[in-house]
Chains A and B, each alone.
Chain A
Amino acid sequence: MTATQDVTIGRRPRRSRASTETVGGLVSPADRRRRGVRTTLGGVNALVLMALVVMGAAPVYWTVKAALSGTQQLLHEPARLWPDPTMWSNLSTAWSQLGIGKYLVNTVVLVLGTWLVGLFVTITGAFAVSVLRPRFGSWVYAGVLATLFVPGTVTLISLYVTILDVPFTGWNLANTPWAIWLPASANAFNFLIMRQFFDGIPRDLFEAAELDGAGPIRLLRHLVLPMSGPIIATVSLITIMAAWKDFLWPLIVLTEPSVQPLSVALPRLAERADLSVLIAGMLIALVPPVIIFVIFQRFIVRGIGFTGLKG
């Protein structure tokens, strides 16, 4: 009975809204008509909204405020609502003196590369396994699936050893962006959900196109890719958000400060920087993911459903 649980949250609320009106949820329409219940619900509502504002919005607001405060004022009145004077110069100090600008560029390079290399590997691989179905395709798929059982942190040490001396090539990738890009592209989850989506495309389409003489590259470019917008968007956002958050792996393979992303640089800077300037730097690290979230909320929320439940 629960076998058909659907987790694409993106379009969920609209339907549930309609059904609370007609059928009723845990608290039924009959309950809602009672005055006591309505008052209680109203009270709980106010309480929850307040808690969510404190939990979600307040920390972001505080970061903005603190980034524009003088350090002395920040230390002595941490709960002050708005700084006086407003220190806009903190942002430029953080940007140039702490080198936040440089670390931001490093972060963007790492994130975009992770995204592009990851998409390339995932799409070609999933396309091969799902559509072309070569002889060893199912073996490769099983091999990819098996890596889901081994969380990344477990291979931390040996992956680091691999990065220092990539098998058969002798490359040392440490302190280069490839040390981030390549391991991140071996992502079983993305591979899985991409393959699952490709599996849903009717096979007749491929057969018809093949009869018309279309080769694999044309199948991919003109048939599969145009139909795969939603899944590519979802995988892209999962990848980008995860890459922006990544900390432990870049900490290990990017020991050279000049190539480090914000996440690795900030804790190091925290040891010597002026507090309010440091927080200005944190604000700069925080803004891009928040903006991406606000714009692409729908896809991200759907992505959580994917990573959370689709296995």
Chain B
Amino acid sequence: MAFLAPTVLVFAAFSWWPIVGAVRLSFQKTNLVTPAHWVGTDNFRRVLDDPLFGTAVRNTAVFTALDLLIWFPVAVLLAVVISELTRAGALYRTLVYLPVVIPPVVGVLLWKTFYDSDYGLFNDILGLVGLGPYPWLQDSTWALPSLVLQHVWASLGGAVLIFIAALANVQRELYEAAEIDGAKVRHRFWHITLPQMRGVLLVMFLLQAIGLFQIFTEPFVMTNGGPADSTITILQLIYRYGFEYGQYGTAAAASVMLAVVLCLLSAVYLWATRKWGSR
């Protein structure tokens, strides 16, 4: 029993209790100084009435969709190409994973200087071939896609490595059989490689989606939600409610709403790992 004590204490205080606390707090009004009091569903109504919440939900949805749309095919393609091309893939795997090793804050600050419209690396290089200058982060249409591009860069490596590992497990005899039947490489990819990887693909897709729903560092550090709220995300809004306006109840209500969506995704994720996961 003594061995179990640290686990029970730590989980009770910093995991189970806060989960209960989040739900309780969402029905209370508190500034953490005067005692909290119950306010029913006021916090939820306040969140839903906030026009910025709609903006944040929309931005997060667009961010997630755009990110997955680029990240997913690029990761699959890179994994397939790398595992087909290279005998000694160590260099490739190191290079592809390096951006993941860079601490997110450093990566984001780095890209912020790249994106600078007057002195940035991107406009400088694009200028050499007669393109631009582009406003990147200063324009409310292009700021969000710019953040997505940075995030895809930062998160590609993990998925590529996992896909490479999964590709090594595709049953090779099927390729031979398909080849004898005259199937082209393209067909072999669609009908043998992808179906055999569907478990890993689904799991990684869900993991990335769960992460994207909670995107914070990129918009917070790079644009602080601007310009004109075009990059504010749900988690950033929760942060503002709580730690800038001191409306902890409102922040908790928004968290609970986010939790419902994330729980569903996590449930599908766990189900998928059970069904297709290893061992």
Residues of A at the B interface (CB closer than 8 Å) are 1-9, 12-13, 15-17, 19-20, 23-28, 30-31, 41, 44-45, 48-49, 52-53, 55-57, 59-60, 62-63, 66, 74-79, 120-122, 124-125, 127-129, 132, 134, 136-137, 140, 143-144, 147-151, 153-162, 164, 166-167, 182-183, 185-186, 188, 191, 216, 220, 241, 244-245, 247-248, 252, 262-264, 266-267, 270, 275, 278-279, 282, 285-286, 289-290, 293-294, 297, 301, 304-305, 308-311
User: Assuming A155-B22, A162-B13, A301-B93, what are 19 further A-B pairs, CB within 8 angstroms?
Assistant: A2-B199, A9-B161, A25-B83, A25-B172, A26-B185, A45-B86, A49-B92, A52-B95, A55-B153, A56-B95, A75-B119, A155-B255, A156-B238, A162-B21, A244-B103, A245-B104, A247-B105, A293-B98, A308-B162
Residues of A within 8 A of B242 (CB): 156-157, 160
Q: Does A186 lie within 8 Å of B15, measured CB to CB? A: yes
B residues less than 8 Å from A304 (CB atoms): 158, 161-162
A57 with B95, Cβ < 8 A, contacts A161-B32, A167-B17, A267-B109 known: yes
CB–CB B95/A53 < 8 A: yes
**Complex interface: chain B residues within 8 A of A66 (CB):** 113
Contact status B99-A56, CB under 8 Å: yes
Cβ contacts under 8 Å, A24 to chain B: 172, 175-176
Q: What are 9 A-B residue pairs whose CB atoms fall within 8 Å in the complex?
A: A13-B89, A26-B185, A55-B99, A155-B21, A162-B14, A285-B103, A290-B101, A304-B158, A311-B274
Would A5 and B22 be within 8 Å (CB), given that A13-B89, A127-B3 are in contact?
Answer: no
Q: Chain A residues near B102 (CB, 8 Å)?
A: 59-60, 286, 289-290
Determine whether the beta carbon of A5 is less than 8 Å from that of B89.
Answer: no
Contact A5 B276 (CB under 8 A): yes
Contact partners of A147 in chain B: CB under 8 A:
11, 15-16, 19
- The residue of chain A having its C-beta at the shortest distance from the C-beta of B241 within the complex is A157
Chain B positions 199-224 with a Cβ under 8 Å from a chain A Cβ: 199-200, 203-204, 207, 210, 214, 216-217, 220-221
| Chain A hits for B66, CB < 8 A | none
Where the two chains meet, the residues of B that have a C-beta atom closer than 8 Å to any C-beta of A are 1, 3-8, 10-11, 13-19, 21-22, 24-25, 32, 78, 80-90, 92-99, 101-107, 109-110, 112-114, 119-121, 124-125, 128, 153, 156-158, 161-162, 164-173, 175-176, 179, 185, 188-189, 192-193, 196, 198-200, 203-204, 207, 210, 214, 216-217, 220-221, 235, 238-239, 242-243, 248, 251-252, 255-256, 258-259, 262-263, 266-267, 269-270, 273-274, 276-279
- B residues less than 8 Å from A270 (CB atoms): 109, 112
| Cα–Cα, bound, A185→B242 (Å) | 24
Cβ of B60 to closest chain A Cβ, rounded Å: 12
When A16-B83, A27-B84, A41-B85 are in contact, do A59 and B110 touch as well, CB less than 8 Å? yes
Chain A hits for B162, CB < 8 A = 7, 9, 304-305, 308-309
- Select A155's contact among B18, B88, B274, beta carbons within 8 Å: B18
Partner of B90, one of A13, A60, A78, A279: A13
Closest chain-B Cβ to A91's Cβ sits at a distance in Å of: 15
The reply to whether A305 and B125 form a contact with Cβ atoms under 8 Å apart is no
A140–B7 CB distance below 8 A: yes
Min CB–CB distance B107 → chain A (angstroms): 8
By secondary structure, the B interface counts as helix
Tell me which residues across on chain B come within 8 A of A120, comparing CB atoms. 6
Q: Is the CB of A56 within 8 A of B85?
A: no
Query: B176–A158 contact, CB under 8 A?
Result: no
B5: chain A residues at CB < 8 Å are 124
Nearest chain B CB to A107's CB is how many angstroms away? 9
Whole-angstrom distance from the CB of A61 to the nearest CB of chain B?
11
Contact B11 A167 (CB under 8 A): no
Q: Tell whether A162 pairs with B200 under 8 Å between CB atoms, given A17-B87, A79-B124, A149-B270.
A: no
Q: Whole-angstrom distance from the CB of A111 to the nearest CB of chain B?
A: 11
Bound: A220/B11 CA distance, A:
22
B278-A26 in contact (CB<8A):
no
Check A25–B110 contact: CB distance below 8 A.
Answer: no
Return B252 CB to nearest CB of chain A, in Å. 5
Is A78 within 8 A of B217, CB to CB? no
CB distance A2 to B124 under 8 Å? no
Closest 9 CB pairs of A and B: A125-B7, A158-B21, A311-B273, A56-B95, A128-B3, A56-B98, A16-B168, A52-B95, A154-B259
Q: A293 with B7: in contact, given A157-B252, A282-B106 (CB under 8 Å)?
A: no
Query: Which A-chain residue is minimally distant from B211 (CB atoms)?
Result: A151
Closest A residue to B250 using CB positions: A157
Q: Closest residue of chain A to B186, judged by CB?
A: A26
Tell me the minimal C-beta distance from A181 to chain B in angstroms. Answer: 10
- Interface residue from A74, A75, A245, A310 paired with B273 (Cβ < 8 Å): A310
Q: Shortest beta-carbon distance, A68 to chain B, in Å?
A: 15
